């Protein structure tokens, strides 16, 4: 039997998990729905709460509740150029180059936090199928660089997943839309998500999905639309910069802005009444859609620049595009849709839910890998050029952006002084001319060169980008034919020891988190039973004797105390069951009474 | 036998290691014509991709995975190279270790222009007139590239060039032509960067 391969859309704001059932791809749903918010909240004992429950903790536990962690995947301290002071949690750009998120007693990297989200999605799929699942396809923004892709793969590993393939989000969307289409077409996918923007141009040719070019901005997304709106609201309220950036004020405004953005997608204008708790800040505002459009127009212009470049790189013009696909929650904003439609003169496809389309594509790619779908193949490209630092800090590119993958390039190195035994190589990714403006993927040294006259040794270094877009490097001494694999440090400064420790920690935390989550589930269920019983008491207490009422009140108190003070899941489950039993007896009495009331005053022939 | 049949067994659906398919010319069936048409290249590219892409060998043996990767790399690098006659010539000379980039001085025919261009490029900011001048130069040099392309194709035809080892005189002529092209290409790129900034 073929192994199941799940598809995962690991988004900045929300994540989804999907599968292909032999006929179509479906997003897996649990009691909270299809979407799992990409939010992780760390409790005092270090355990992690993920998703909807973590979202509920954003206000009460802001410094330990992490959202938009995807923005930090694969980033080193030197990459953090955007101002993240607005985030309620603390970003630590340490001297060792590793970006960490710090709170009281914990210091975690982005892959470790993302791993919690992936674990949750894995569990969601496992609960759905009732079996253990490990094989998966994870989507990433097309414009993710090698470090960002490797960080995603690493997060998957930490979550106990076997990441068969990393695919680009716009490509996944095209797969979702194009599965039944076998005719030729040129497609543009405009993917504006919560925290990233991507555009890809694809050619569909008899079951082959060929990516022609890709472009984007990994630091631009729906969050930026919210920020633009926060600035607008703050300026209307005449808030100072200091006030605006106060943690709880900012969080309040962020939530208002998010809701306003959604409401303005349906209404021309909205009225807001703002009253920020524990502050004198309050006021009534009216925000129109055109004010919102104006606030975000510079952001949409930034996306157009990337679109133009992608079209140019594909050697096409705007009028050559046959189909336009919109992906990502931010494309629900009417102004975004109108603008894209104007650029291409085509009505964009939006019939697949933009929140789900990437996950659906990931499941389809999973089915291609497992062999469930045949005669469809995806030909992808690398989004950024790869090069190395040469004299004067200039970058010499050896694999150009939008090269079809897998691909390779070779460079031959030699020594510059007599008896030199090592050559240092600095690998970079990006389009800029100077090393300082590109992303450093790693430095390595070709050592063990036999002492010889300068220029005599010849070492051929092969740079390979695999079908996942991940870089592998190997070197061969052309004189001795001795080969060696080179490890280009994948996790931006994380040593092998740290990586090993993280893997160990992930297994330890998995147990803690599982316990925590189960306890949380038990408490939620208990609260639901208490609430239902209290409502019954309010409406039908006359059906019970005073002893029965007292007994139920006592059970409610015992269970409430256990919820507040105990971490003993068995105790809470036992108390819940006993209250539930009492409430069931009560429910029977209510039912009997209801039937009796209905039957009263009716003749037998009316029934 | 088509190239697909020589590297892929349709019955077993397995790839075959074929030492005779080791260059872009072998894979794209153009050993006797180093400047194949775009249609010919794309037809081979798509038909092979459907059988050899690494995604199709996810559950295969390590050897099959490595073969799939090897042929896919050859296919992807090959189409990029063979679609461009300058890259093709460069690859061909490199294949026979005859590529010589040591003579990369400014081509005499463009020497005069180069001084003027460098002067404009060295400015911190450029006037609209200077930008227009750069655009004119780009157009002029792109015209030169087209001429070089024609010369290269004529050399291919005149000397009945195939994928075998070239004679040294022909190699020398092509090396000179490629060096001029490479210089012009770099200059155009510098001017485009200056205009973009």
pLDDT in tens, A348-406: 988 888 889 999 999 999 999 998 988 888 999 888 889 888 877 888 888 998 899 99
pLDDT band at A509 (very low <50, low <70, confident <90, very high): low
Q: Give the Cα separation of A175 and A379 in Å (integer).
A: 11
User: In chain B, what residues touch A376 (CB-CB under 8 Å)?
Assistant: none
Asked if A225 and A381 touch (Cβ cutoff 8 Å), the reply is no
Least confident of A75-79, A99-103, A105-109, A323-327: A75-79
What pLDDT shows up at residue A274? 84
Residues 6+ apart with CB under 8 A from B131: B195
Q: Does A134 touch chain B (CB under 8 A)?
A: no
For residue B53, the distance in angstroms to the closest alpha carbon of chain A comes to 8
Whether the per-residue pLDDT at A490 is higher than 50: the answer is no
User: Does A169 qualify as catalytic in the annotation?
Assistant: yes
Whether the per-residue pLDDT at A484 is higher than 80: the answer is no
Taking an 8 Å cut-off on Cβ atoms, the answer to whether B80 and A205 are in contact is no
Q: Give the Cα separation of A263 and A256 in Å (integer).
A: 10
For residue B169, the distance in angstroms to the closest alpha carbon of chain A comes to 26
Q: Which residue has the higher pLDDT, A508 or A385?
A: A385
What pLDDT shows up at residue A135? 96
Q: Rounded mean pLDDT of A555-579?
A: 87
Q: What is the pLDDT of residues A432-448, one digit of tens each?
A: 878 888 888 888 887 77
For A293-316, b where at least 16 C-beta lie within 10 A, e where not — what string?
A: bebbeebbeebeebbebbbebbeb
Q: Which residues of B touch A (CB under 8 A)?
A: 46, 49-50, 53-56, 58-59, 69, 72-73, 76-77, 79-80, 193
Cα separations (Å) of B151 from A101, B36, B37, B96, B106?
A: 60, 16, 18, 21, 19
Burial of A564 (0-12, 13-18, 19+ CB in 10 A): exposed
Mean pLDDT for chain B?
89
Q: What is the pLDDT of residues A581-603, one digit of tens each?
A: 887 777 777 777 767 766 665 55
Strand positions, DSSP E, A356-481: 377-379, 386-389, 395-399, 407-413, 423-429, 439-446, 459-465, 471-477
Whether the per-residue pLDDT at A7 is higher than 80: the answer is yes
Q: Give the Cα separation of A435 and A90 in Å (integer).
A: 29
Q: Is the dihedral of CA A161, A167, A169, A174 positive or negative?
A: negative
Tokens standing for residue A579: 């209250």
Helix and strand element counts for chain B (H, E): 8, 2
The ipTM assigned to this model is 0.85
Q: What is the pLDDT of residues B173-187, one digit of tens each?
A: 999 999 999 989 888
For residue A465, the distance in angstroms to the closest alpha carbon of chain B comes to 9
Q: What is the pLDDT of residues A155-208, one digit of tens each?
A: 999 999 999 999 999 899 989 987 556 578 899 999 998 778 989 999 988 888
User: Does A191 qualify as catalytic in the annotation?
Assistant: yes
Mean pLDDT for chain A?
85
What pLDDT shows up at residue A499? 62
Active-site pick, A79, A169, A389, A582: A169
Q: What is the pLDDT of residues A48-75, one digit of tens each?
A: 889 998 888 887 788 889 998 998 898 8
Active-site pick, A4, A9, A55, A261: A9
Q: Rounded mean pLDDT of A20-40?
A: 93
Nearest CA in chain A to B190: A433
Residues 6+ apart with CB under 8 A from B139: none
Whether the per-residue pLDDT at A24 is higher than 50: the answer is yes
Q: Give the Cα separation of B117 and B149 in Å (integer).
A: 23
- Provide, rounded to the nearest whole percent, the portion of chain A with pLDDT above 70: 90
Name which of B46, B53, B77 is nearest A408 (Cβ-Cβ): B77
What pLDDT shows up at residue A517? 65
Asked if A153 and A118 touch (Cβ cutoff 8 Å), the reply is no
Name which of B50, B73, B79 is nearest A377 (Cβ-Cβ): B50
Asked if A464 and A406 touch (Cβ cutoff 8 Å), the reply is yes
What pLDDT shows up at residue A154? 92
What pLDDT shows up at residue A507? 60
What pLDDT shows up at residue B92? 93
Q: What is the pLDDT of residues B56-79, one digit of tens each?
A: 998 899 999 999 999 999 999 999
What angle, rounded to 10 degrees, do the helices at B62-82 and B38-52 form?
Answer: 170
Asked if A144 and A11 touch (Cβ cutoff 8 Å), the reply is no
pLDDT band at A607 (very low <50, low <70, confident <90, very high): very low
Tokens standing for residue B13: 């659906």
What is the pTM for the complete model shown? 0.77
What pLDDT shows up at residue A491? 45
Taking an 8 Å cut-off on Cβ atoms, the answer to whether B54 and A466 are in contact is yes
Nearest CA in chain B to A381: B76
Active-site pick, A79, A148, A191, A356: A191
What pLDDT shows up at residue A480? 78
Q: Does A370 touch chain B (CB under 8 A)?
A: yes
What pLDDT shows up at residue B190? 85
Q: Give the Cα separation of A287 and A268 in Å (integer).
A: 9
Q: Which residue has the higher pLDDT, A282 or B92?
A: B92
User: In chain A, what residues touch B50 (CB-CB under 8 Å)?
Assistant: 207-208, 375, 377
For residue A579, the distance in angstroms to the closest alpha carbon of chain B comes to 52
Asked if A38 and A227 touch (Cβ cutoff 8 Å), the reply is no
User: Does A70 qualify as catalytic in the annotation?
Assistant: yes
Q: Rounded mean pLDDT of B119-144?
A: 87
Nearest CA in chain B to A433: B193
Q: Does A485 touch chain B (CB under 8 A)?
A: no
Tokens standing for residue A159: 């979550």
Least confident of A290-299, A541-550, B152-161: A541-550
Q: Rounded mean pLDDT of B102-111?
A: 76
Closest CA to A219 of A364, A71, A99: A71
What pLDDT shows up at residue A472? 85
Taking an 8 Å cut-off on Cβ atoms, the answer to whether B46 and A205 are in contact is yes
- Provide, rounded to the nearest whole percent, the portion of chain A with pLDDT above 90: 33
pLDDT band at B101 (very low <50, low <70, confident <90, very high): confident
Calculate Rg over the CA atoms of chain B.
21
Nearest CA in chain B to A167: B55
Phi, psi of A224 (to 5 degrees): -70, -30
Q: Rounded mean pLDDT of A115-133?
A: 94
Active-site pick, A4, A70, A124, A261: A70
């Amino acid at each position: 039997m073929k192994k199941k391969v799940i598809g995962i859309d690991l988004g900045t704001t929300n994540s989804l998990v999907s599968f292909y059932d032999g006929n179509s791809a479906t997003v897996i749903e649990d009691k909270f729905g299809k979407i799992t918010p990409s939010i992780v909240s760390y409790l005092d004992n270090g355990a992690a709460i993920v998703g909807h429950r973590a979202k509920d903790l954003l206000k009460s536990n802001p410094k330990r509740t992490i959202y938009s962690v995807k923005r930090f995947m694969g980033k080193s301290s030197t990459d953090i150029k955007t101002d993240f002071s607005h985030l309620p949690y603390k970003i630590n750009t340490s001297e060792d180059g590793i970006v960490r998120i710090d709170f009281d007693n914990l210091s975690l990297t982005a892959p470790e936090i993302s791993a919690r989200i992936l674990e949750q999605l894995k569990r969601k799929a496992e609960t759905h199928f009732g079996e253990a699942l490990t094989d998966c396809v994870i989507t990433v923004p097309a414009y993710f660089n090698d470090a960002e892709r490797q960080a995603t793969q690493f997060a998957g590993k930490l979550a106990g997943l076997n990441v068969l393939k990393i695919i680009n989000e716009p490509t996944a969307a095209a797969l979702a839309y194009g599965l039944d289409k076998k005719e030729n077409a040129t497609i543009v996918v405009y993917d504006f998500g919560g925290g990233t923007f991507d555009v890809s141009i694809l050619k569909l040719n008899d079951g082959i999905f060929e990516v022609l070019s890709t472009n984007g901005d990994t630091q631009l997304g729906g969050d930026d639309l919210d920020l633009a709106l926060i600035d607008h609201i703050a300026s209307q309220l005449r808030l100072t910069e200091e006030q605006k950036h106060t943690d709880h004020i900012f969080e309040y405004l962020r939530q208002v802005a998010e809701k306003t953005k959604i409401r303005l997608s349906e209404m021309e204008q909205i009225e807001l009444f703002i009253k920020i708790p524990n502050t004198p800040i309050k006021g009534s505002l009216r925000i129109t859609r055109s004010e919102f459009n104006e606030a975000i127009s510079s952001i949409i212009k930034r996306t157009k620049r990337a679109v133009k470049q992608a079209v140019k790189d594909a050697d096409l013009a705007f009028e050559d595009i046959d189909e336009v696909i919109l992906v990502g929650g931010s494309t629900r904003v009417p102004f975004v849709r109108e603008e894209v439609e104007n650029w291409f003169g085509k009505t964009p496809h939006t019939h697949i839910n933009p929140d789900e389309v990437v996950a659906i594509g990931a499941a389809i790619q999973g089915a291609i890998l497992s062999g469930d779908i045949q005669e469809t193949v995806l030909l992808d490209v690398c989004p950024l050029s790869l090069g190395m630092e040469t004299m004067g800090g200039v970058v010499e590119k050896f694999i150009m952006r939008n090269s079809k993958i897998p691909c390779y390039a070779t460079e031959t190195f030699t020594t510059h002084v007599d008896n030199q035994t090592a050559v240092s190589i600095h690998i970079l990714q990006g389009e800029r001319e100077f090393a300082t403006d590109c992303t450093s993927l790693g430095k390595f040294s070709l050592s063990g060169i036999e002492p010889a006259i300068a220029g005599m040794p010849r070492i051929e270094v092969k740079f390979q980008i695999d079908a996942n877009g991940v870089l592998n490097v190997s070197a061969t001494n052309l004189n001795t034919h001795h080969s060696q694999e080179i490890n280009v440090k994948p996790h931006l400064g994380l040593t092998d020891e740290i990586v090993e420790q993280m893997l160990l920690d992930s297994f330890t935390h998995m147990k803690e988190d599982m316990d925590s989550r189960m306890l949380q589930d038990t408490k939620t269920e208990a609260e639901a039973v208490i609430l239902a019983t209290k409502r019954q008491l309010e409406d039908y207490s006359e059906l019970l004797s005073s002893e029965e009422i007292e007994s139920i009140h006592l059970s409610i108190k015992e269970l409430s105390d256990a919820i507040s003070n105990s971490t003993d899941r068995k105790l809470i489950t036992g108390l819940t069951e006993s209250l539930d039993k009492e409430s069931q007896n009560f429910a029977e009495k209510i039912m009997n009474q209801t039937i009796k009331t209905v039957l009263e005053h009716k003749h037998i022939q009316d029934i | 036998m088509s190239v697909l049949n020589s590297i892929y067994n349709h019955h077993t659906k397995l790839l075959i290691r074929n030492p005779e398919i080791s260059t872009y010319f072998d894979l794209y069936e153009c050993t006797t014509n180093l400047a194949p048409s775009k249609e010919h290249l794309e037809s081979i590219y798509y038909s092979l991709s459907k059988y050899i892409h690494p995604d199709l060998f996810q559950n295969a043996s390590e050897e099959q995975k490595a073969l799939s990767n090897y042929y896919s790399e050859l296919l992807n690098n090959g189409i990029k190279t063979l679609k461009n006659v300058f890259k093709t010539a460069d690859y061909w000379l490199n294949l026979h270790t005859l590529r010589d980039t040591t003579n990369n001085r400014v081509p005499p025919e463009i020497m005069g222009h180069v001084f003027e261009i460098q002067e404009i490029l060295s400015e911190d900011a450029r006037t609209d007139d200077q930008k227009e001048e750069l655009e004119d130069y780009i157009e002029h040099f792109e015209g030169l590239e087209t001429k070089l392309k024609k010369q290269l194709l004529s050399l291919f035809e005149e000397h009945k060039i195939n994928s075998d080892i070239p004679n040294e005189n022909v190699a020398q002529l092509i090396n000179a032509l490629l060096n001029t092209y490479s210089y012009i290409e770099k200059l155009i790129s510098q001017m485009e960067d200056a205009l973009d900034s």
